[in-house]
Homo-oligomer: A and B are copies of this chain.
């Protein structure tokens, strides 16, 4: 079970680190800025979650593998050959961000639910849902705040909704299906919802001013 969780979280880490590093490149940051943005995007949601539940030091410091993976990914993405290739083969920056961000979002939202369950908050559905969502979207919000942008999640593509729906599904299935199947189901739903939302241009309504 531990191995399963580790593999899933490493996939999410790679995805989010790549999206953070690309954002740093787009903003003209130097090598260090690109690496920091990769690490913040990949590990930031978990750090927020761990500070909120008082699980200190946060897991990213107890298990350096996540931060080191994020640094490695950022270094690879930094090569012009790599990030140009990624962009060309996925029809540009937006499409690439979509795919990687969606995988990471699903993995981390359900990993947040898992951490909430492990910390004994299974009887507080509202809190479990919040921890799942913030683990999923927190890194991206920090990425956007640190690169002086309006956070992506507030304006685009049904983003945080997908994380909330997946986290809720994962939490609801948990007592019946156990950790592994609930997490896979939740993460898959997040990924599918995001792709469907992008393809059919689902949007949440905006207020008319």
Contacts and interface: CB of A to CB of B under 8 A. Distances in A.
Contact of A148 (B80, B149, B209): B149
B127 A61 contact: yes
Given A54-B57, A145-B145, A209 B26 contact: yes
Contact of A57 (B53, B146, B206): B53
Interface centre among A30, A80, A208 (most CB of B within 10 A): A30
Contacts of A205: 30-31
Given A52-B61, A61-B52, A126-B61, A29 B149 contact: no
Contacts of A54: 54, 56-57
Interface in A118-169: 121, 124, 126-127, 130, 141, 145-151, 153-156, 159-161
Stoichiometry, copies per complex: 3
Interface residues of A, number: 54
A72 interface: no
Interface in A60-81: 61, 64, 67, 78, 80
Given A32-B204, A208-B80, A124 B155 contact: no
Interface of A: 24-34, 36-37, 47, 51-54, 56-58, 61, 64, 67, 78, 80, 83, 121, 124, 126-127, 130, 141, 145-151, 153-156, 159-161, 203-209
